[in-house]
Amino acid sequence: MQQLEIFHIDSPCIGICQSGPRGYCLGCYRSREERLHWINLDDHVKSKIVKACVLRKKRAFARKHSTEPVISEDPVQGDLLD
């Protein structure tokens, strides 16, 4: 038996609506299918999607901020006759 949702779950859309490199929206972090079928989903499924979006956003933020600048050494140029 499913627990009844007390509140209606609104779309997490914030109006950015652009797909990122992993295929998720850069605004709400839903997949294309999740955005497309949102209106037809029941609140239980919507709740799971919203929780997944929160995790996706945290991971994206961590990836974006964990990359340290790569310090590359100048390549040693070889001798023309080697």
| Per-residue model confidence as pLDDT tens digits over 24-76 | 999 999 999 999 999 999 999 999 999 999 999 999 999 888 865 555 555 55
Contact, 26 vs 16, CB < 8 A? yes
What residue type is 47 in one-letter code? S
Q: What is the pLDDT of residues 15-27, one digit of tens each?
A: 999 999 889 999 9
pTM of the model: 0.70
